[in-house]
Chain A
Amino acid sequence: MLKGIGASEGFGIGKVMIVEEKKLEYTPHAVNDIDAEKQRYADAVAAFIEETKEQAAALRVSAGDKEAEIMEGHIGIINDPGMKMSVDGLIEGGNCAEAATEQTLDMFIGIFSATDDEMTQQRASDLKDIKNALLSILLGINEVKISEAPAGTVLVAKEVTPSMTAGINKDNIVGIITETGSQTSHSAILARAMEIPAVLSVPNALSQLSSGEQVIVDGTNGEIVTAPSEAEITDYTARRDAFLREKRELEMFRGRRTQSASGEEYELCCNIGSPKDAGKAIAADGEGVGLFRTEFLFMDRTALPTEDEQFEAYKAAAVILKGKPLIIRTLDIGGDKEIPYLGLEKEENPFMGFRAIRYCLKNREMFKSQIKAILRASAFGDVRIMFPLITAVEELREGKALVEEAKEYLRASGIAFNENIPVGVMTETAASGVIADLLAKEADFFSIGTNDLTGYTMACDRGNSDVSYLYSPFQPSVLRMIKSIIENAVKAGIPVGMCGEAAANPMMIPLLMSFGLTEFSVSAVSVLKVRKNIAKWTKAEADAVAEKVMIV
């Protein structure tokens, strides 16, 4: 039995598939037979084209024509006469095919990146993909294809990256095991979003497990049963079925109002990370979006997104939500979220450093273009603006002043927007908790981000396993912080939500109901569960629980 962190509930029984990212390293070697080396390159190109055609055909089915065409464009690039000329020239100069490929593509990547055209700069990432694919073919490194995993596969990897997720077929992957990560890491969030049982932070999982062996993934308890006996398989099959049955029972809460057993109503929204997720929020019966993370627009690219590009994304989400609330959080970079082209310097202490609203207030043009894009989207739905990481009233004031400036500009240009767009604070720092009364006077709403609030209040890095025992929203200090934030919002008469993981915690829910929270924002898969949990409690019962808990 291996132990880890249960990060996505459920039980999966299947066969291990190890996914390792191989390093594309080689030692450049001198070439004697130039024609043979050119042929090696030509063979690699032929293999690449065949592979790419297959991927394009698969993408056409799973993602549509547009994505497939981008993939097919890679064939055009590799067939480009300029490319072949450069590679052949380098081989003739005595370079091996690997070095010739790398130098040629790096040259073109340099040319593309040096233009002042954003779309061209983005294409440099296609060239990088091509370079990596060609090098793996030349080096004979076979990348394991997740998309081709057979039914009943348990993925085992160091971590689940977004590019890996693209290949995951939910019907075939029955479990995920990783060596790193925690409840709130990217791998966990992805696994939960796909409803695949996952156990993370299993030490040396890659060396302890081997491809093809049978395992049981118990994502509920964070355990992996290796070489399971027949009795264990029977037992876990029963548990899996019971788990799935309970899930079906949750379906009974679909389409119902979110209310306590005594009739108090609450708003139950979703946290999303892209316009597409807005559709998932609706499909999950969410009543709106309590947190739209905008980082996706800024990541995996080489230059800032334009105002228009942002506007299209925000508008798309607003349109999907058809008038339901959409809280858009302004850019929250820094900390663990790095964006190379912003040129942020490495910091001693990134979580306490130059990030989120602090970065945005120092880079006003960038910030204003995001605010303008959000304002323009507000003409298409109930859009609200939220600033992350507020620690002082001045930051809120400065942000609001920029919103006013952006409004002025749009007004003068005759562009439609909502004049009364609410501007709120993500209360996720100890500072914002302590001055919640002051912030409540000037903010239109609060949303409590419990993940960072817990980390900052406890001065504890959730990713560090030596101190992670301290990381709990149930620590008295964090509970007092949450209570004070909610009570100050209620006193000021502004709505107060929670968009951290804790909002979906069944033990936290009665406390939040008692404190006076007005909105729960959770991941799409948790919506029905949270609605069921809220319906369990009368206000009086929740108050009684809260009173006992807060005696501490």
Chain B
Amino acid sequence: MVSKQLTIINAQGFHMRPAQMFTAAMGKYSSDVTIKFNGKDVNGKSLLNIIPACIKCGSNIEIVCNGADENEALAEAVAMIENGFGE
């Protein structure tokens, strides 16, 4: 299991388009991807989980990946969030 703490920097936060990009990217990996936010575990592969979590710009989150390709999954997740989903 690998993890990293991050801050959301894009203005929209984890809204429709970023969440779509994120879940589409994470769907490629066999590892479980969890976003820890506000004391809750959010399934990083599920749009329907991420959107109502209301993760906004400035929120502190932790990405946890667990599985065979956890390192690759975490690296891509971190890259997407750190570059603000290209906004």
- Per-residue 0/1 for A58-87: is the Cβ within 8 Å of any B Cβ (1 yes, 0 no)? 000000000001100100110011110000
Contact of B16 among A73, A83, A108, A116 (CB under 8 A): A73
Identify B54's interface contact among A73, A77, A120, CB under 8 A. A120
Q: Say yes or no: A76-B24 contact (C-beta < 8 A), given A111-B52, A119-B15.
A: yes
**B52 in contact with A82 (CB, 8 Å):** no
Contact check, A120 vs B48: say whether CB atoms are below 8 A apart.
no
Residue pair A81, B52 in contact (C-beta under 8 Å): no
Query: Is B80 an interface residue when CB atoms closer than 8 A count as contact?
Result: no
Closest approach, in angstroms, between the C-beta of B8 and any C-beta of chain A? 14
Are B52 and A115 neighbours in the complex by a CB distance under 8 Å?
yes
Smallest Cβ-Cβ distance to A66: which chain B residue? B17
The interface bits of chain A over 110-131 (1 if a CB of B lies within 8 angstroms of the residue's CB, else 0) are 0110111101100100000000
- Are B47 and A77 in touch, CB under 8 angstroms? yes
Q: Which residues of B contact A108 (CB under 8 A)?
A: 48, 52
Q: Is B10 an interface residue (CB 8 A)?
A: no
Number of residue pairs spanning A and B whose beta carbons lie under 8 angstroms apart: 43
| CB-based nearest B residue for A121 | B52
**Of B27, B43, B45, B46, which is in contact with the most chain A CB atoms at under 10 Å from its CB?**
B46
Is B49 among interface residues, defined by CB-CB distance under 8 A?
yes
With a CB–CB cut-off of 8 A, which chain B residues contact A81? 27, 43, 45-46
Tell me how far the C-beta of A444 lies from the nearest C-beta in chain B, rounded to whole angstroms: 39
Q: How many residues of A contact B (CB 8 A)?
A: 19
Q: How far is the CB of A306 from chain B (nearest CB, A)?
A: 14
Q: Is the CB of A80 within 8 A of B48?
A: yes
| Residues A73 and B20 in contact in the complex (CB < 8 Å), given A81-B43, A117-B54, A120-B54 | yes
Complex-state Cα separation, A82 to B56, whole angstroms: 22
Complex contacts, A83 vs chain B, CB 8 Å: 48
CB distance from A301 to the nearest CB of B (A): 15
For B46, list chain A residues within 8 Å (CB).
Answer: 80-82
- Is B66 part of the binding interface, using a Cβ–Cβ cutoff of 8 Å? no
Known: A81-B43, A112-B52. A123 touches B16 (CB 8 A): yes
> How far apart are A269's CB and chain B's nearest CB, in angstroms?
37
Contact status of A80 and B52, CB under 8 A, knowing A69-B17, A73-B16, A73-B17: no
Using Cβ atoms and an 8 Å threshold, which residues of chain A touch B51? 112, 120, 123
Is B23 part of the contact surface with A, judged by Cβ < 8 Å? Answer: yes
Interface residues of B in 34-74 (CB under 8 A from A): 43, 45-49, 51-52, 54, 56
Interface 1/0 per residue, A134-176 and B, CB below 8 Å:
0000000000000000000000000000000000000000000
Q: How many Å lie between the Cα of A487 and that of B54 in the bound state?
A: 56
Of the candidates A69, A77, A114, the one whose C-beta lies within 8 Å of that of B48 is A77
**Chain A nearest Cβ from B1, distance in angstroms:** 20
- A116 and B51 CA atoms in complex are apart in Å by 12
Shortest Cβ distance from A76 into B: residue: B20
**A112→B24 CA distance, assembly (Å):** 20
- Shortest CB distance B23–A (Å): 7
Residue pair A115, B54 in contact (C-beta under 8 Å): yes
Of the listed residues B16, B23, B43, the one surrounded by the most CB atoms of chain A closer than 10 A to its CB is: B16
Report the separation of the CA atoms of residues A112 and B50 in the bound assembly, to the nearest whole angstrom. 11
Min Cβ gap A49→B in Å is 14
- For B27, B43, B51, the residue with the greatest tally of chain A CB atoms inside 10 Å of its CB is B51
CA distance A111 to B51 in the complex (A): 10
| Chain B residues whose CB sits within 8 angstroms of the CB of A76 once the complex forms | 20, 23-24, 47
- Least CB distance from B5 to A in Å reads 23
Distance from B62 Cβ to chain A, minimum over Cβ atoms (Å): 20
Q: Are B54 and A82 in contact (CB under 8 A)?
A: no
User: Closest CB of chain A to B33's CB: distance in Å?
Assistant: 11
**Which residue on chain B has the smallest CB distance to residue A126?**
B16
Interfacial residues of chain B within 6-27, with CB under 8 A of chain A in the complex: 15-17, 20, 23-24, 27
Greatest chain B CB density within 10 A among A114, A116, A123 is at A123
Contact B43 A82 (CB under 8 A): yes
A93–chain B nearest beta-carbon distance, Å: 20
Q: State in angstroms the CA–CA spacing of A83 and B45 once bound together.
A: 11
Q: Which residues of B contact A69 (CB under 8 A)?
A: 17
Q: Measured between C-beta atoms, what is the minimum distance from A7 to chain B in Å?
A: 38
Closest residue on chain B to residue A72 by CB atoms? B20
A-B contact pairs, 18 of them (CB 8 A): A73-B17, A73-B20, A76-B20, A76-B23, A77-B47, A80-B46, A80-B47, A80-B48, A81-B27, A81-B43, A82-B43, A82-B48, A82-B49, A83-B48, A108-B52, A112-B51, A116-B54, A123-B51
Known A-B contacts: A81-B46, A82-B47, A83-B48. Give 16 more (CB < 8 A). Answer: A69-B17, A73-B16, A73-B17, A76-B20, A76-B23, A77-B47, A80-B23, A80-B47, A81-B27, A82-B46, A108-B52, A111-B52, A120-B51, A120-B52, A120-B54, A123-B16
- Which A residues are closer than 8 A to B by beta carbons? 69-70, 73, 76-77, 80-83, 108, 111-112, 114-117, 119-120, 123
A-B pairs with lowest CB-CB distance, top 8: A82-B46, A117-B54, A82-B48, A76-B20, A111-B52, A80-B48, A80-B47, A115-B52
